[in-house]
Structure formats: C-alpha cells, structure tokens
Amino acid sequence: MNKRLPITQITKNKEVFNNLPKANVSFKVNNNVAFSFKDFKCKCIKTKDFNNCFSNMWEYAEWSLIVIKRISSYSTMTVQELKEGGRSTRCHPVLGKDLEKLKNILSLIDYKPEFLTQLEEDGFWELTIERALGRMYGYFVDNIYYVLLFDPHHLIYPDLKMGCQYDLLHKNHDPWSEIEKIEDRISGL
C-alpha cells in the first residue's frame, strides 16, 4: 500500500501549514568557523592601486565557484585551526601599510569611519582564497568570520614572488552592477 504525504493546506491569509509530523531534531553545537556576509557590500572598485573587477562574467563565475569551495572547506575547521593553518589558510591579522591600504579601499565601498575604527581595535584578518586567486578580508567575532571584501587579484597584500598582477586595466566587468540590473528587471515584472 502506497502511503501519501499529507496535503499542504493554505489558509485565506496565505499562511502555510504543513501536516507532516514533526521530528525532534537537535543540532550539535561546535566551534567550527561560520561565515557571515552581514556587513559585506557588493561593489567593484577600480583605482590605480586596487581592482576587484573581472575580465568577463565567465572569469567571475569560475572564481565564485572556487570561493564557495574554499569557504566550505574552511567551515570544517575551528578558528584556532584556521589561524594556525600556515600556508594552507594564510590566516593572519592585517597590519601596517597593508591595514591603511585596506581601510582606504573599505572607505571607497562606503564603510563608515567609525565602523572601521571599531573594527581596527578588534583586528582585521586576511584569509587566502587560493594561491593565485586572491584573498578575503574580514573580522572575527567568536567563531564567526564576517567577510568585508574580496581581493581577487591579491593587490592589498601582494605576493611579488608569485607574480602578482598590477596591470589590471583590462579587467572591467563589474558582476555586482550586473546583479543589480537583473534585480531591477525582476522587480519591474
């Protein structure tokens, strides 16, 4: 005899009630790193010192998949493992002239000076995406890493041995403006 799932009922005020039985589910709390994009601002910057644009949408798509894979991998680690990961994570505080450069770029993305000053007291942290595919910058609160900026071309803290690219004038594709255009088209429907 085939058992059927109960039909989902929709009330007049469109609240959905599902008649499926409730299971007692408990989640194991751990100290693995979680990533938050709460403070992330989607904006491309192109200056003489920094460029986070891409050559085209395909380059951006490929890069995005690598970022997702790396974040997924980092999410299996504790903060301590991440910070002690050495060359595999390159997780370290941003200091000195690199910190000043990072703050200047973040201010171009419209982060408020008070916000940046407060974060500077707690510390900005850099994580590798992949050896030649840039870094992400953010800050830790307990086991949560709040992503503020992606540096896909590794320009804030360049690795000159690895042939860091400074000639990025050809990289003009702004994926964030493309997303805004799509959102505008969808909202106009």
Task: Give the pLDDT of residue 22.
Answer: 46
Phi, psi (degrees; rounded to nearest 5) at 186: -65, -45
Whole-prediction pTM: 0.71
Task: Give the pLDDT of residue 170.
Answer: 58
Task: Give the pLDDT of residue 29.
Answer: 56
Task: Give the pLDDT of residue 20.
Answer: 40
Residue boundaries of the structural domains of the chain:
33-172
The residues pairing with 137 across neighbouring beta strands, listed in sequence order, are 126, 149
Per-residue pLDDT of the chain (189 residues; tens, 9 = 90+): 555 555 544 444 444 444 444 444 433 457 899 999 999 888 888 887 787 888 888 888 898 899 999 999 999 999 999 988 877 788 899 998 888 988 988 988 888 888 888 888 879 999 988 877 889 999 999 999 999 999 888 777 665 554 455 445 556 666 767 667 777 777 777
Q: How far is CA 31 from CA 54, 73, 79, 91, 144, in A?
A: 35, 14, 7, 17, 9
Task: Give the pLDDT of residue 186.
Answer: 79
Residue 185 in tokens: 């088209």
pLDDT by residue (tens digit) across 93-110?
A: 999 888 898 898 898 888
Task: Give the pLDDT of residue 159.
Answer: 57
Distance of CA 39 to the CA centre of its chain: 10
